[in-house]
Amino acid sequence: MLSYVGRRLALGLFTVWAVSVLSFLIIQLPQGDFVTTHMTELADSGNSSAVYEAERLRAEYGLDQPIFVQYFDWIGGVVRGEFGMSFDWNRPVADVIGDRLVLSMVVSVAAIIFTWAVALPIGVYSAVRRYSIGDYTLTFLGFLGLAVPNFLLALVLMYIGFAVFGTDVGGLFSAPYENAGWSFAKAWDLLKHLVIPAIVLGTAGAAQLIRIMRANLLDELRKPYVITARAKGLPERRVVTKYPVRVALNPFASSIGFLFPQMVSGSIVVSIVLSLPTVGPLLLRALQAQDMFLAGAIVLLLGVMTVIGTLVSDLVLMWLDPRIRHAT
C-alpha cells in the first residue's frame, strides 16, 4: 500500500508539472502582454501624450524573451519559493495572493457549512417522508437554488439587502474593520457579510447534496437491517440516524478533497458581483491584464490543490472500500 501511495505522489508531481506548462501557455495565448495593457490603460485615462518605449519596458519585465525561456525562469523561481512580482500590483505575488487566500478559504468554508447544514436535514427529511408535500416543496426549492444562475441571485440578494434591510453592499468587511486587527467585533462583522455569499454559493451545492442524500438514504432504508431494527422496536429516529445516514454520507467523504479548488473556480463570478476580496476576482483581473506571474501562480495553485484533492479522495476511498484496497 505504501508503494501505491508513493506511486500516486510521483504521478501527482508529474501532473502538477504538466498543469504548470499548460497554465503558462494558456495565459500567454491572448495577443499582447502586460505592457500592452498598461499602455492601453494610460491611453484610456488620457495619457496618450506619454510616448512610451514599449520595447524598453518589455526588456525590463523580461517579456521579450522567447516563451520557453520565460517559462523556465518562472518555474525555476516557483520551485525555490519565489513567485515573482505582480506587474499590476507592483508587489510580490506571494503577498498579493496571501492576503486573499485566507478570505477565499473563509468564504468557501462558510458556503460548505451552509450547504451541509441545509442539505443534510432536508435530504434526510425528504427520504423519510417520501412523496409528502414537504418532500416535494423542499426538493423543489433545492432545485430552484441549482437552476437560478448564481450571479443573478447574488445581485438580487445584494440589492434586496440594500433596499430592504440596509445592509452593507457586498464586500466582506465594513470600512472600520477592514484594516483593524482581529477581534470579536471584527469576526462578527465578517459573519454578517458572509450571509449572502454563503447562500449564493451554497444553494447549488445544496441541491445536489439533497438529491444524492435522499437517493442514498432511500437505498439504505430498504435494506434488511433497517427493517430488523424497526421490528425490534427501536425508535424511528435512531433507526434512521444510527447507521443509514452515516453510510449514506460515504460519497461526501471522498469528495472533500475537491471542495476547495472547485469553490474557488466556481465562485469567481459571484465574487466579482459581490465584490469579495478573494482569489477569484484577482485571477480574472490578472488574466485580463496579462499579469503573467500572478495569473500563473494562481492557476498553478488551483491545479495543485485539485491534484491533492484527487489524491486525498482516492486515499479516502481506498481506506473506506476494502475491495479497491485489495485490487491495487
Partner 1 sequence: MPRDAVVDEERISVASQRQLIWWRFRKHRLAMAGAIIVLFFYFVALFGDFLSTSDPQASEGQRSLMPPQAVHLFEGASLSPHVYAVVGQRDPDTLQRSYAVDPTRRIPVRLFAHGYEYKFLGLFTTDIHLIGTEGTPAERSLFLLGTDQQGRDIYSRLVLATRTSMLIGLTGVALSIVFGVTLGGISGYYGGVVDTVIQRVIEVLRSIPVIPLWMGLAAAMPKDWSVTQVYFALTVILSVIGWTELGRVVRGRMMQIRREDFVTAAELVGSRPRRVIFVHMVPLFASHIIAATTLALPLMIVAETSLSFLGLGLRPPSISWGVMLQQAQNVQAVALSPWMLVPVIPVVVVILAFNFLGDGLRDAADPYDL
Partner 2 sequence: MTGSDYTRRRFLRDAVLASGGTWLLGACSSTPVVSTDTAAAGGRGGAAQAGLPAIEGAQLVTDPARMPKKFREAPEFAKLVSEGKLPPVAERVGSAPLVLKPVHSAGGYGGEIRRGFVGQGDFQNAVRFCSGPDSLLYWDFRFEKVVPNVAAAYELSDNDRVLTLHLRKGMRWSDGSPFTADDLLFWREDVSLSPELGSGSSSMRIGGVEVELEKVDDLTVRYVSKTPNPTLPERLAGWTDLAGMAANAHLGGGGFLPKHYLSQFHPKYTSVDAANKLATDAGFKGWAAHFRSLASWHQNPKLPTVTPWVLTRPINNPPWEFGPNPYSIWVDDKGNQLPYIGRITMGNVENTEVLALRAAAGEYDVQDRHLVVTNLPVLIKNEKRGSYKIHRAPNTEVDCGIRLNLAYDTDHELGELIRTVEFRRALSLGIDRGQINEAFFLGTCTPTATMAARGSIYDPGPEWHTKWATHDPAKANKLLDRIGLTTKDSAGYRMRKDGAGRIILDYQAFPSIADFIGIGEMVKRQWQRIGIDVNVASAEANLLTQRATANQLMLSGQSVGTDDPFLKADTFLPTVTNNYPGMIGIPYAKWFASGGKQGTEPPDSLKLLKDAMALYAKGLSEPDDDERVRMGKKLYMMHADQVWSIGIAGFGLAVNGVYLTNNRLRNVPARVVNSLQMKSMNNTYPITFYYE
* Interface residue list for partner 2 (CB under 8 A): 30-32, 36-37, 39-54, 56, 60-62, 85, 88-92, 96, 155, 158-159, 162, 166, 168-171, 175, 178-179, 271-277, 281, 285, 288-290
Smallest gap from Cβ 310 to partner 2, in A, equals: 30
Distance CA 186, CA 323 (A): 49
Residues binding partner 1 (CB under 8 A)? 11, 14-16, 18-19, 22-23, 25-31, 143-144, 146-152, 155-156, 159, 163, 211, 222, 261, 264-265, 268-269, 272-273, 283-284, 287-288, 295, 299, 302-304, 306-307, 310
DSSP result, 262-284: HHHHHTHHHHHHHT--SHHHHHH
Q: How far apart are CA 145 and CA 48, in angstroms?
A: 48
Out of partner 1, partner 2, none, what residue 256 binds, judged by CB under 5 to 8 A for its kind, is none
Neighbours of 296 (CB within 10 A): 25
Task: State CA 107 to chain mean position distance.
Answer: 9
Residue 32 cell numbers, joined: 499582447
Ordered DSSP codes for 78-108? HHHT---EETTTTEEHHHHHHHHHHHHHHHH
Q: Indicate which of partner 1, partner 2, none lies near residue 9 (CB less than 5 to 8 Å, by partner kind).
A: none
DSSP track, 211-260:
HHHHHHHHHHHTSHHHHHHHHTT--HHHHHHHTHHHHHTHHHHHHHHHHH
Closer CB to partner 1, 30 or 98, in the complex: 30
Q: In the complex with partner 1, which residue's Cβ is closer, 24 or 116? A: 24
For the chain, counts of helices (H) and of strands (E)? 16, 2
Q: Pick one of partner 2, partner 1, none as the site partner of residue 321 (Cβ within 5 to 8 A by kind).
A: none
User: Least distance in Å: CB of 233 to partner 1?
Assistant: 26
State the Cα–Cα distance between residues 33 and 12, nearest whole angstrom: 31
| Residue 276 contacts which entry, partner 2, partner 1, none (Cβ below 5-8 A, type-dependent) | partner 2
Nearer Cβ to partner 2 (89/243) = 89
- Cβ 135 to partner 2 shortest distance, Å: 38
- CB of residue 18 to partner 1, shortest distance in Å: 5
Q: Which is nearer to partner 2, 254 or 290 (CB)?
A: 290
CB of residue 77 to partner 1, shortest distance in Å: 20
